[in-house]
Structure 1
Amino acid sequence: MTSPQPACTDPSAAPAARREAVLREAVRRGLLDPGDALVAAFVDLDGVAASVAALQDAFPASVDVLHTFAAKANCLVPVLARLRELGMGCEVASPGEFAQALAAGFDPDRIVFDSPAKTRRELVRALELGVAVNVDNWQELDRVDGLLRTGASASRIGVRVNPQVGAGSIGAMSTATATSKFGITLADEGNAERLVEAFRERPWLTWIHVHVGSQGCPLDLMAEGVAQAVALADRINGEAGRHQVTGIDLGGGLPVNFADDTTAPTFAAYVERLRVRAPRLFDGGYRLATEFGRSLLAKNGFTAAYVEYTKTSGGRRIAVTHAGAQVATRTVFAPDAWPLRITAHHPSGAAKHGAPVPQDVAGPCCFAGDVVARARALPELAPGDLVALLDTGAYYATTHFQYNSLPEPAVHGFTVDPDGRVGFVPLRRAQDVDELLRPVG
């Protein structure tokens, strides 16, 4: 028997009550349905706007800064378009993301192109359109040299440096280690001097880009990497005798708190660390750019799925749901680094409040490791119930893993008006079987 549905909540309501209201309305409208819509993702558009405002407010108005969104975190064109409307630029790292940014309406001069493997064709297009380019390595710099000899470009061009300040707690998310594949290393013998000379010889080389990593990287590590980039910029300008480096691209990478609904660390806290470690960023001498992704979207989304079956195996309760590795790839394959909170709901979407029972929450994929949570204490799940995977607004359902040819689920944006009415906006429709067959048809 389902519990009674609480009244719908307004935008300032507690996150748990807000999610419950959205789930109940999604069920009522058929966006979640045990026959046709077994899994769906939801993005809180009000929350996204609040996160963007927090980022913009964290930097002083006296600093010229372009905030770009890292498209890999949520590459859906309607999401990118909404971010553009909120004043964001876009950071892209592939031809697909490049095309999605243009489709979302970003002006080329508000797009930043980062990738360690840019092709000649990709660089030609970026330079023709005037998109900002961050060069990753010496060979790419030679390639850009050759392309600029054939024609001028309005692009602002920088070099990504690796300050080699070390790793955070998740090695795969740490990009400033001694042997990282990204950027030109600063501590390796001769590289700093070679960079000074490279800038001095190229008047069009005017930015420095740095990105220490993301999840698992502490703020002090990130700020130290930025400080080394600023020191290099000051050295280049001093030795060149002119204001050669005009901008610092700080990258992104603010970690996300997946433990509860608190947003921590905040953008304001990060800026305070930068003020301590790299005060020159705030005296007006450099233009700035940022490339945040996960920290803007993660906590503004969740993924909901039906429980199809429950069983007991070796004394362990198991709920088999329709959300597994296809929508929670990192959590399934690296559960210690990417644990997700899960909430239990009645078929109506109302929260379940029974006594917690340890149980596995498994997915639909046909391999034994497709488990989103092990021995998680939740109200006992039953067939037809819903589970919600929290903090999945970035990556997750929008970075689909097509194991077992499972189709992409629908993604819905939502808002809640002051009277508590929930509204939905389609961000991606569910993929059907015919679309799966189209590549061979």
Structure 2
Amino acid sequence: MVLDSTPSGQGHAPGGQRPPVAGHDSLTRRHAAVRAAAHAGLVGPGAPVAGLLDVAGIRAAARELRAAFAGDAPVLHTFAVKAASLVPVLELLNEEGVGCEVASPGELELARAAGVPASRTVLDSPAKTVGELRDALATGVAVNADNAQELARIDALVRERAGAGREPGAPLGMRINPQVGTGTIGAMSTATATSKFGVALRDEGAEEWIVDSFLDRPWLTRLHTHTGSQGVPLELMAESVRVVYALAERINREAGRQQVDTIDIGGGLPVNFAGEETAPSFSAYADLLRATVPGLFDGRYTIVTEFGRSLLAKQGFVAALVEYTKTSGGRRIAVGHAGAQVATRTVFAPESWPLRVAAFDAHGEPKTGPALVQDVAGPCCFAGDLVARGRSLPELEPGDLVALWDTGAYYFSTPFGYNSLPRPAVHGYWTDEESGQVRFALVRPAQSLAEVLAESGVGQRGALTGAGEGPGPLGEVRSRPIRVHTASTAR
């Protein structure tokens, strides 16, 4: 269903037309979306928190990415599904020529449900099971082996397929940890000396083992590295790509042919959470790579990218109702409905993940008036549930709305189930070219309390309180527990 900004305006877009890419600048579109969402009841007393995605912004970001890497080298752009695990978003990106990078069976099923072909899907995970690997080889999903033990599993599967007269069936490669250093956020840095990801290139004997592994396996044709993430400088990312490119050149030289034909450079472009500017841009990174690793772009290698946060962060935001305001110790506090359940990283690591907060009245109009230093708190039952600390904003009042900008990636799409708070609805928005009105499409419905109960085992009531039906110790009725057979009870 597509909903416009007027209370009675429900219906499908005329002729099934796609939302246009052209429109106002991002901030203007966001302000219009808050106003329209408040008017339509998508956020407010009946829907205290919601995620909103700028459809035109997503399309534009995908096109900027493709333009930045255009040239002689073939390029497969994939989207890191963990950054926005929403099927309609993956559909939209797929339509814009961006496939999927997946790191779990669930993410792979999301990509499939979105219609993303196996030829544009890459499986990366440090803990792939034999079943996951077998499925990837059978369906043609590219795999990057994370370690020697995983490579041995792939060997066995390749032999199994060969015994049945079949080729390996999927593009196969190896993830390399170039061990180039740490960014400003240690937990986000994947190319440290002791990172859990990939084969550590600079460990003693590792490079020789990697080269020998490729020479022994003609079907091993890819190298993969992923160094970037929030807090990692572009120069460190480019150096990782240079190191892996040099490794590919060595393998091909010793093989006497171009065995490695694809270099997967990962993603991880940092996002500017401090302001409106999109910096660094995809073009800035691509230009740095061209200067640092010119051979990567001469057409001999296919380039694979796996950007996530940088494609979606600035294309979405969380809007939430302010429920109460209070003063404690002289500090003004606005208590609302966006907290750790949607802004998990910001709440637990505010120095690393600060967010810009905008204040709106109940009608979705930007608040004006003198700035007041205040905290913006969430609904979770612990003291640190603050999305903004000591922030200067127009004085917030009950019924107002706050918007957390730059939260289109990782925030509302991967919520944290604290206090059994239900997942918020997510809506896409765009401006209709003919009417000029903001239109909405539901991307994910809000989670109901019945669904919260189902996830919390309500269907298994009585499983732990006794064997059989009848009254419990306090007189409540017990249901019959599910009998689980173990080795000792199944005799």
What's the counterpart of residue 6 of structure 1?
Answer: none
AA partner of residue 26 (structure 2): P
Inter-partner Cα distance in structure 1 for 2:22 and 2:405: 18
Within a 5 Å distance, the mapping from 1:32-431 to structure 2 comes to 32-34=43-45, 36-151=46-161, 152-418=167-433, 420-431=436-447
1:11-40: CA deviation from partner (whole Å, max 9, x where unpaired): 543433321211111111111131x20000
SS in 2 for 1:125: helix
Inter-partner Cα distance in structure 1 for 2:27 and 2:114: 31
SS in 2 for 1:415: strand
Inter-partner Cα distance in structure 1 for 2:343 and 2:320: 12
The CA RMSD over aligned residues, in Å, is: 1.0
Verify the 8 A CA contact 1:307 1:387 in the aligned structure 2.
yes
Deviation, 1:87, is 0.8
Inter-partner Cα distance in structure 1 for 2:40 and 2:376: 26
AA partner of residue 135 (structure 1): A
Inter-partner Cα distance in structure 2 for 1:58 and 1:358: 41
Verify the 8 A CA contact 2:44 2:401 in the aligned structure 1.
no
Inter-partner Cα distance in structure 2 for 1:132 and 1:17: 40
Inter-partner Cα distance in structure 1 for 2:28 and 2:227: 36
TM-score (norm 1): 0.96
Inter-partner Cα distance in structure 2 for 1:308 and 1:138: 53
1:324-356: CA deviation from partner (whole Å, max 9, x where unpaired): 000000000000000000000000000001111
Verify the 8 A CA contact 2:23 2:431 in the aligned structure 1.
no
Inter-partner Cα distance in structure 2 for 1:87 and 1:11: 18
TM-score (norm 2): 0.87
AA partner of residue 36 (structure 2): E
1:358-388: CA deviation from partner (whole Å, max 9, x where unpaired): 0000000000010111110000000000000
The structure with the largest alpha-carbon Rg is 2
Inter-partner Cα distance in structure 1 for 2:26 and 2:396: 22
Verify the 8 A CA contact 1:38 1:305 in the aligned structure 2.
yes
Verify the 8 A CA contact 1:137 1:183 in the aligned structure 2.
yes
Deviation, 1:253, is 0.5
Verify the 8 A CA contact 1:159 1:208 in the aligned structure 2.
yes
Inter-partner Cα distance in structure 2 for 1:346 and 1:333: 28
Verify the 8 A CA contact 1:11 1:18 in the aligned structure 2.
no
SS in 2 for 1:305: strand
What's the counterpart of residue 19 of structure 1?
Answer: 30
AA partner of residue 90 (structure 2): L
Inter-partner Cα distance in structure 2 for 1:242 and 1:298: 41
Inter-partner Cα distance in structure 1 for 2:243 and 2:363: 54
Verify the 8 A CA contact 1:11 1:417 in the aligned structure 2.
no
1:120-150: CA deviation from partner (whole Å, max 9, x where unpaired): 1111111110100000000000010001100
Verify the 8 A CA contact 1:11 1:420 in the aligned structure 2.
no
Inter-partner Cα distance in structure 2 for 1:353 and 1:14: 21
What's the counterpart of residue 3 of structure 1?
Answer: none
Inter-partner Cα distance in structure 2 for 1:308 and 1:223: 46
SS in 2 for 1:233: helix
Inter-partner Cα distance in structure 1 for 2:432 and 2:202: 53
AA partner of residue 341 (structure 1): R
Inter-partner Cα distance in structure 1 for 2:437 and 2:361: 21
Inter-partner Cα distance in structure 2 for 1:171 and 1:410: 32
Verify the 8 A CA contact 1:311 1:318 in the aligned structure 2.
yes
- The sequence identity of aligned pairs, in percent, is 61
Deviation, 1:154, is 2.2
Inter-partner Cα distance in structure 2 for 1:11 and 1:328: 30
Inter-partner Cα distance in structure 2 for 1:128 and 1:15: 43
AA partner of residue 253 (structure 2): G
Inter-partner Cα distance in structure 2 for 1:377 and 1:33: 23
